[in-house]
Amino acid sequence: MLSLLSVTGCAGTAESLTVVRSSGAREHSIERSLATCMEQNGFRYVPDDGSPWQRVDPELKNDRLGRGDYAAMRSYRAKYGYGAFAIYVFPQKFGNPRVKPEHVPISPNGAIRAALSTTQRRAYQEAYDRCYGPAVKQATGKDVASEWDHHRQISALVDRLVAAEIDADLRLVRLAENMADCLRAKGYAVESTLPSALAGRGFARFNAEITEIGRTDDISDEPLKSFGTDEDGNHRVYQPNLTPLQAGPYLTREIGDALDDLKCGREFYPVYKTRYTDIQRRAHEEFGLAE
């Protein structure tokens, strides 16, 4: 079962995973500090040096997607839509954690954890959480409570930069309004014409369907109540266990929406995507991670 507990910035979609991840000097420092601290706590940790297990599937890391290239986006969307239901139809390619990845080996740290007993894994995680904040502080000067909080702060910074540099940009506002008019003419509901909201409209729509399926399936969501509620005040739920066959019809609808969205946003996306990709890069670098 998958938990809907990921942290994403504005318009965070699978389609945004377009840049090869590389490790900068500060990220190397974080990883080395983690390894040293974990060893002091009696556990082995292998520093991430940008090795293959950290890389996105070759088909999904196309730099042209990050620039809003029409041909690249059309090729992607004609097969994967916005990347919402694709995690079920193409579980290996999209890193569904229920299956072994198609193109990358298992992370050595994942293998280390898997070899531990339940009690040892709990102790390992507690040690990792204790080590993580000081490692980030030493490398970046940033105060983070955990790895989760580290990424939450990056996401919050992305949101602030998007609001200031994208949603307030008059050119992008005009392009978004034109795109929204086109979508409405095709019969789509558009709740907001803010550039970031419009860019995330399609993924949000189909991700909400996934959440609703998870809310109404026979998997108990009781264990997640301790995590509180989501941004809409709803209790968090586990994602449904959809097979590729079950998810296929949903993805077909998603693809139709995504291609219409792209047609309407042909002038919008090259400007928006280029700016958004740059913001993502800057935010990750500020917090010691390369993106």
What amino acid occupies position 177? E
Can you say whether the dihedral through the CA atoms of 5, 11, 12, 13 is positive or negative?
positive
The structure tokens listed for 39 are 């060893």
User: Distance between CA 150 and CA 154 in Å, rounded?
Assistant: 6
pTM of the model: 0.81
Q: What is the mean pLDDT of residues 124-148?
A: 94
Dist CA 196 CA 210 (whole Å): 21
Q: Are 23 and 284 in contact (CB under 8 A)?
A: no
Q: Which residue has the higher pLDDT, 49 or 152?
A: 152
Q: Tell me what percent of the residues of the chain surpass a pLDDT of 70.
A: 77
pLDDT given at position 6? 39
Amino acid identity, position 240: P
Say what the pLDDT of residue 20 is.
37
Work out the percent of the chain whose per-residue pLDDT is above 90.
65
Give the pLDDT of residue 61. Answer: 72
Could you tell me where the DSSP H helices lie in the chain?
A: 25-40, 63-66, 70-80, 86-89, 108-114, 118-140, 147-165, 170-185, 195-216, 244-264, 268-286
228: pLDDT strictly greater than 70:
no
The residues near 199 (Cβ < 8 Å, ≥ 6 apart) are 10, 11, 265, 268, 269, 272, 273, 276
Q: d(Cα 216, Cα 112) in Å, to the nearest integer?
A: 36
Q: Mean per-residue pLDDT for 47-61?
A: 63
CB 33 within 8 A of CB 39: no
Q: Within 13 A of 171's CA, how many CA atoms are on the CB side?
A: 8
pLDDT value at residue 253: 98
Looking at the predicted structure, is the pLDDT value of residue 209 above 50?
A: yes
- Write out pLDDT tens, residues 71-114: 999 999 999 999 999 999 998 888 776 665 555 566 788 889 88
